[in-house]
C-alpha cells in the first residue's frame, strides 16, 4: 500500500514538473514573440534607412522562424497524441469484439432463464434449500449479464469517443500544417526580400536612398499626369493605346516593361481583381501561375511574363510612399509590344520628368465608376 502511495505521488510530481516546464517554455515563446512585434513596430516608426530596413527584415525573419518552430512543435505533439489514440482504439476494438461475442453467446441462455417461470425452479428443485440456491444462482447470473451489457455499452461509448477525438486532432493537425506552409512561404519571401535589398543597394546607404527617391519620383510623375494629362478620346476594349517602352530610364525604369496599375476611388487595387483569369509566366517566383478573377482583357499579348506583382515583393521595399507595396503589375511579352485597352473608357496621355533628366511617358484610361488604369514607360 505504501509502495503504491509513493508511486502515485512520484507520478503526480513528474506530471506537475513537466506541466511547469511546458508552461514555462510556452511563456518564454510568447514573451519573445511580443518582444519581436514591439521591435517591428518601433522600427516601422523610424526614419527610413538601409540599416532600419535590414533590422526590420531580420526581426520579421526571426518572428516567422519562431512561429514556424512553435507550429512544428504543436504538429509533432498532435502526431504523438494521434498515435496514442490509434493504440487505444486498436485495443478497444479488440475488447469490444470480445465483449460483443460474449454477449451474443449469453443471449440464448439469458432468454431461456427469462422464460423459465419461478414455479418451474421449484418443480425441478429437490427441496426448498435447493430452490433457494438455484434462485440465488439465477439472480447472480442475471446480475452478471447486466454487468456484461453495461461493460459492452461503456466500451462502445469509449471507442466512439476516442475515434471522435482522434478525428478532431487530425483536423487540428491539418489546419496547423496549412498554417505552417503559409508561414514557411512568408519566411522564404522575407529572406528573398533581404537578399534582394542587399543585392540592389550593394549594402550602400546612398544607393538605398537614391532608389527610394527614384520610386517616389515615379509616383509623383503619375500624380502630375492626372492633373496635366491630355485627353485623347474614347477607347473600346482591345483598341491599341501605345507600345511597351523604357521611358524614364535610368531614373525611373530599369528596362523595357509595362507597369500596369489600377486605382479605384483613388486607392491602389490589385489588378488581378479586374483582369480575367489567365495562365502567365511567373518570373518573380518561377514557373507558371493562373491569376485574374475579373472580366477585363489583358493589356499585352501572350505569352505574358510577370516580373513583379502587386503587393509585397522582393523589390517593393523601394515604395516607402505606399507602405512597401508595389502598386501594380510589371509585365512583358516577347510576342508583341502593343498595349491594348483592357476595357472601355476615355484615354489620356502625359509626359513627365522623372529622376533628373529622364522623361517618363504615361497613359491612363478613365473607365468611370472612379476606376482608372495606368500604363507607364510607354514609347
Q: Are 262 and 249 in contact (CB under 8 A)?
A: no
Split into its structural domains, the chain has a count of: 2
With bands split at pLDDT 50, 70 and 90, how would you rate the model's confidence at 12?
A: very low
Q: Which of 35, 42, 38, 44 lies closest to 66, judged by CA?
A: 35
Q: What angle do CA 298, 239, 215 make, to 5 degrees?
A: 55
| CATH code assigned at 111 | 1.10.287
Same domain, 170 and 239: no
Q: Could you tell me if 300 and 362 lie in one domain? A: yes
Q: How confident is the model at residue 166 (pLDDT cuts 50, 70, 90)?
A: confident
What is the per-residue pLDDT for 143? 61
Q: What is the pTM of this model?
A: 0.68
H helices within 245-376, ranges in order?
none
**Helix/strand/coil (H/E/C) assignment for every residue in 201-242:** HCCCHHHHHHHHHHHHHHHHHHHHHHHHCEEEEEECCCCEEE
Ranges of H-type helices in the chain: 2-44, 50-115, 118-124, 128-201, 205-228
Q: Which residue has the higher pLDDT, 157 or 243?
A: 243
Whether 122 shows a pLDDT value over 80: the answer reads: no
State whether 290 and 364 are in the same domain.
yes
Residue 356, pLDDT score: 75
Q: How far apart are CA 169 and CA 166, in angstroms?
A: 5
Residues 247 and 342 in one domain: yes
Chain center to CA of 200: 29
For 27-40, the pLDDT digits (tens) are 787 888 888 888 88
Residue 48 placed within a domain: yes
The model's confidence at residue 290, banded by pLDDT at 50, 70 and 90, is very high
At 176-190, the pLDDT tens digits run 999 999 999 999 988
pLDDT range class, residue 9, cuts 50, 70, 90: very low
pLDDT of residue 163: 81
Q: Is residue 265 part of a domain?
A: yes
Judge if 126 and 267 occupy the same domain. no
* 112 CA to centre of own chain: 64
Q: What is the mean pLDDT of residues 192-216?
A: 91
The grid coordinates of residue 235 equal 477607347
| Domain end marker among 131, 161, 194 | 194
DSSP string, 1-19: -HHHHHHHHHHHHHHHHHH
370 occurs within a structural domain: yes
Report yes or no: 357 and 252 within 8 Å, Cβ to Cβ. Answer: no
Among 138, 171, 194, identify where a domain stops. Answer: 194
Per-residue confidence (pLDDT) for residue 100, from 0 to 100: 65
How much is the average pLDDT of 152-172? 79
Domain assignment present for 160: yes
Q: Do 116 and 260 share a domain, yes or no?
A: no
Nearest CA to 225 out of 345, 332, 377 is that of: 377
Which residues 6+ apart lie within 8 Å of 280 measured at CB? Answer: 288, 289, 290, 291, 303, 304, 305, 306, 331
Measured CA distances, 132 to 58, 144, 170 (Å): 87, 18, 57
Does residue 14 form part of some domain?
no
- Residues with Cβ within 8 Å of residue 239, at least 6 apart in sequence: 340, 341
Q: Indicate the average pLDDT of the chain.
A: 82
pLDDT tens-digit profile of 221-252? Answer: 999 999 999 999 999 999 999 999 999 998 88
The pLDDT > 70 percentage for the chain reads: 77
- Model pLDDT, residue 146: 62
Q: What is the pLDDT of residue 302?
A: 95
CB-facing half-sphere around the CA of 63: CA atoms within 13 A: 18
Query: Quick one: 233 and 123 in the same domain?
Result: no
216 vs 321: CA distance, rounded Å: 7
Q: What pLDDT is recorded for position 110?
A: 53
Range scoring the smallest mean pLDDT among 3-7, 67-71, 327-331: 3-7
Looking at the structure, tell me whether residues 99 and 133 fall in a common domain: yes
pLDDT at 29: 79
Confidence (pLDDT) at 3: 40
Q: Supply the pLDDT for residue 369.
A: 93
Domain identity same for 183 and 240: no
User: Greater confidence, 153 or 10?
Assistant: 153
Same domain, 275 and 148: no
Give the end of a domain, one of 194, 215, 240: 194
373/149: higher pLDDT? 373
- In this structure, are 85 and 110 located in the same domain? yes
Q: Is residue 199 part of a domain?
A: no
**Rounded to whole angstroms, how far apart are CA atoms 7 and 333?**
75
Q: Identify the residue with better confidence: 265 or 250.
A: 265
Tell me, yes or no, whether 153 lies in a domain.
yes
What domain range is 346 assigned to?
A: 207-376
Residue 11 is assigned to a structural domain of this protein: no
Given a contact cutoff of 8 angstroms between Cβ atoms, the answer to whether 272 and 251 are in contact is no
Residues 151 and 225 in one domain: no
Amino acid at each position: 500500500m505504501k509502495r503504491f502511495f509513493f508511486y502515485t505521488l512520484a507520478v503526480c510530481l513528474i506530471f506537475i514538473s513537466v506541466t511547469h516546464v511546458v508552461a514555462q517554455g510556452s511563456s518564454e515563446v510568447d514573451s519573445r514573440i511580443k518582444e519581436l512585434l514591439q521591435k517591428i513596430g518601433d522600427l516601422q516608426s523610424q526614419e527610413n534607412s538601409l540599416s532600419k530596413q535590414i533590422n526590420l527584415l531580420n526581426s520579421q525573419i526571426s518572428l516567422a522562424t519562431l512561429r514556424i518552430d512553435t507550429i512544428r512543435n504543436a504538429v509533432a505533439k498532435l502526431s504523438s497524441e494521434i498515435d496514442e489514440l490509434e493504440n487505444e482504439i486498436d485495443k478497444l476494438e479488440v475488447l469490444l469484439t470480445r465483449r460483443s461475442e460474449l454477449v451474443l453467446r449469453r443471449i440464448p441462455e439469458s432468454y431461456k432463464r427469462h422464460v423459465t417461470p419461478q414455479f418451474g425452479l421449484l418443480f425441478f428443485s429437490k427441496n426448498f434449500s435447493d430452490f433457494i440456491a438455484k434462485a440465488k444462482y439465477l439472480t447472480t447470473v442475471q446480475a452478471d449479464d447486466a454487468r456484461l451489457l453495461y461493460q459492452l455499452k461503456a466500451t462502445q461509448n469509449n471507442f466512439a469517443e476516442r475515434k471522435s477525438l482522434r478525428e478532431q486532432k487530425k483536423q487540428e493537425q491539418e489546419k496547423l500544417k496549412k498554417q505552417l506552409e503559409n508561414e514557411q512561404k512568408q519566411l522564404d519571401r522575407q529572406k528573398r526580400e533581404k537578399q534582394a535589398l542587399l543585392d540592389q543597394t550593394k549594402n550602400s546607404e546612398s544607393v538605398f536612398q537614391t532608389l527610394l527617391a527614384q520610386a517616389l519620383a515615379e509616383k509623383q510623375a503619375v500624380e502630375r499626369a492626372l492633373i496635366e494629362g491630355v485627353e485623347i478620346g474614347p477607347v473600346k476594349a482591345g483598341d491599341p493605346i501605345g507600345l511597351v517602352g523604357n521611358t524614364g530610364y535610368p531614373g525611373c525604369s530599369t528596362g523595357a516593361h509595362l507597369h500596369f496599375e489600377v486605382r479605384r476611388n483613388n486607392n491602389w487595387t490589385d489588378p488581378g481583381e479586374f483582369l480575367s483569369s489567365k495562365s502567365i509566366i511567373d518570373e518573380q517566383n518561377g514557373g507558371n501561375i493562373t491569376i485574374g478573377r475579373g472580366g477585363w482583357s489583358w493589356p499585352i499579348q501572350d505569352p505574358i511574363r510577370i516580373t513583379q506583382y502587386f503587393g509585397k515583393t522582393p523589390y517593393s521595399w523601394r515604395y516607402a510612399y505606399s507602405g512597401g507595396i508595389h502598386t501594380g503589375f510589371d509585365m512583358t511579352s516577347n510576342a508583341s509590344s502593343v498595349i491594348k485597352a483592357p476595357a472601355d473608357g476615355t484615354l489620356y496621355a502625359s509626359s513627365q520628368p522623372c529622376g533628373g533628366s529622364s522623361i517618363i511617358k504615361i497613359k491612363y484610361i478613365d473607365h468611370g465608376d472612379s476606376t482608372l488604369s495606368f500604363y507607364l514607360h510607354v514609347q
